[in-house]
Amino acid sequence: MRIACWSGPRNISTALMRSWSSRKDAAVIDEPFYAYYLKQKGLEHPMYKEILKNYSINYEDIVGKLISDIPQKKKIWYQKHMSHHLIDFKNIDWIKKFENCILIRQPNEVINSYTKKNKLYSIEELGYPQQYKIVKFLQKSDKSFIVIDSSDLLKNPENALSKWCKKININFDKSMLSWEKGNHPNDGIWWKHWYENVIESTGFQKLKKRDISIESKYDSIYNEAMKYYNYLSKFK
């Protein structure tokens, strides 16, 4: 079984990858399209030179790997994807071979976290429009999918993960609730910049209610993101 989790940035997606990697029957991969995305967009993200040097920038080659044999002879291959790393939506038929999950988060939380780490110019960088396109594609293809809100996952990880596992007809494993501290072998090399919270964790953090304010210059991005977020939330 291949699982594709389509997230936006700063959305506990790495903690979720940790969760799946804790299963003895699962292999994981971390953002396989990141280098391709940076090359296509001409972006200079933190560590972009190292990323372009160490990872494939050829879309077809990456897809070929993702649909090939599951690594380490495992039963499950969990693939952590950033939805905005998809660029050509006329060439995503391959995702029909996967159990697809859309991982969403409140836009104010995403923007607040993202802008602490990187410059933000467009909603396209946050993945909401791409998540919408993925859902529309899966609906048109008559393929089932699941939408999980990160807040629901943090409120009750066992409940959210159990429902997910049941949806795709596998057994929930309590090992998914904890993991070893530190960076992991399957982390992309970008962990040094982006994963400072996750590498200090051993499980999902408790959901904390916070008053979050974002700079007014991001208002238009926030308002547009909320339209997509509200639509996607209907499928939770």
DSSP 78: E
Q: What CA–CA distance (Å, rounded) separates 134 from 40?
A: 19
Confidence check: pLDDT of 153 > 90: yes
pLDDT of residue 212: 84
* % pLDDT > 70, the chain: 100
Burial of 31 (0-12, 13-18, 19+ CB in 10 A): buried
**DSSP 3-state helix, strand, coil percentages of the chain (rounded to 5)?**
50, 15, 40
Mean pLDDT of the chain: 96
Show the DSSP H helices in the chain as ranges: 13-21, 34-41, 48-54, 59-66, 107-114, 128-140, 150-155, 157-167, 191-194, 219-233
pLDDT of residue 208: 79
Task: Out of 3.40.1160.10, 2.30.30.60, 3.40.50.720, 3.40.50.300, select the CATH number for domain 2-233.
Answer: 3.40.50.300
pLDDT tens track for 81-137:
999 999 999 999 999 999 999 999 999 999 998 998 888 999 999 999 999 999 999
Confidence check: pLDDT of 9 > 80: yes
Mean of pLDDT values over 75-86: 98
pLDDT tens track for 155-209:
999 999 999 999 999 999 999 999 999 999 999 999 998 898 899 999 999 887 7
CA-based max dimension of the chain: 50
